[in-house]
Structure 1
Amino acid sequence: MNTNYTNSTRILRTTMTLQRKLLVLVVLLSIPLLTKGQTNELKRHYVPFDVQLKATATAKSTNQVVTETISQQGATWLRLFFKDVNLGKESTLTITSTLDGASQTLTAESIKTWKNTSAYFNGDQITITLTVAAGETNIRASIKELGVGDPDPTSKSQCGSVDNRVDSADDAIGRIVPVGCTGWIISTGKYVTAGHCVGSRAQVLEFNVPKSNPDRSIIHPGPEDQYPIDSYVSPYPSIPSQANDWAVFEAGPNSQTGLTAFQAQGKAFEVTQDDPGSDITITGYGVDSGIDNQTQQTHTGPTASYTDTFVRYVTDTEGGNSGSPIIDTATGKAVGVHAYGGCSTNGSGSNSGERATISDFWIAMGYGTPPPPPTEDCVGNVSSFPLSESFENTLGAWTQSTIDDINWTIDANGTPSSNTGPSSAAAGNYYVYVEASGNGSGYPDKSAILNSPCLDFSGVTEPSVSFKYHMYGSAINELVVEARTNNTGDWATVFSRSGDQGNSWNAAAIPLTSYAGVSSVQLRFRVTTGSGSGGWQSDIAIDEVTISDGDNTPPPPPVCDSLDFNDFSINSFANQDAAGNYSIGSGGAAISMANNTWKFIPLNYTVTPNTVIEFDFSSTSQGEIHGIAFENDNSLSSSRVFKVHGTQSYGIRNYDDYAGGTKKYTIAVGNFYTGTMDRLVFINDNDSGSGNTSTFSNVKIYEGTCGALLSAENAIADLESKTPIMGTEDEFSAIQVKIAPNPTRGAFTIQVSNYNKDIQGTIYNVLGKRVRVLSLQKGNNAVSSSAFGLNPGIYLIKFTGPDVELGTQKLIVN
Structure 2
Amino acid sequence: MNFYNTNSSNFKQRYSLQKFGVLACMVLMLLPAISLAQIAPLKSTYKAFNQAIKSNDNLAKSTSEVITETISEKGATWLRLFFEDVNLGKNSSLTITSDLDGASQTLTAATIKDWKNTSAYFNGDKVTLKLIVAPGERSIGFNIKELGIGLLDPTTKSQCGSSDDRVDSNDAAIGRIVPIGCTGWIITNGRLVTAGHCVGSRAQIIEFNVPKSNPDRTIVHPGPEDQYPIGNFVSPYPGNASQANDWAVFTASANSQTGLTPIQAQAKSFNVVRTDPGSNITITGFGTDTGIDNQTQQIHTGPLSSVNNTFVRYRTDTTGGNSGSPIIDAATGNAVGVHAYGGCSGSGGSNSGERATIPAFWDAMGLGGGGPDPGNDDCTGDVSSFPFVESFESSLGQWKNTSVGDDLTWTRNSGGTPSNGTGPSSAADGNTYIYVEASGNGTGYPNKRALLNSPCLDFSSLSTPRLAFQYHMLGSAINSLTVEARTNNTGNWTSVFSRTGEQGSNWNTADVDLSSYAGDSSVQLRFNVVTGSGGSGWQSDIAIDAVSIQNGSGGPDPGPTCEALNFNDFTVNPFSNQDRGGTASITNGGAALSMQSNTWKEIALSYTVTASTVIEFEFSSTSQGEIHAVGFEDDDALTPTRYFKVHGTQNYGVTNYDNYSGGTTKYTIPVGNFYTGAMNRLVFINDNDAGSGNNSIFSNVKIYEGSCGQALAESVANQESVDPIFGTEGESNDAFNVRMTPNPTKGSFSIYVNSGTKGNVNAVFYSILGRKVGQKQLRPGVNTLSPASLSMNPGIYLVTFDDNRGGSTTQKLIVQ
TM normalised by structure 1 equals 0.43
User: TM-score, structure 2 length as denominator?
Assistant: 0.43
Q: Based on CA coordinates, which of the two structures has the bigger radius of gyration?
A: 1
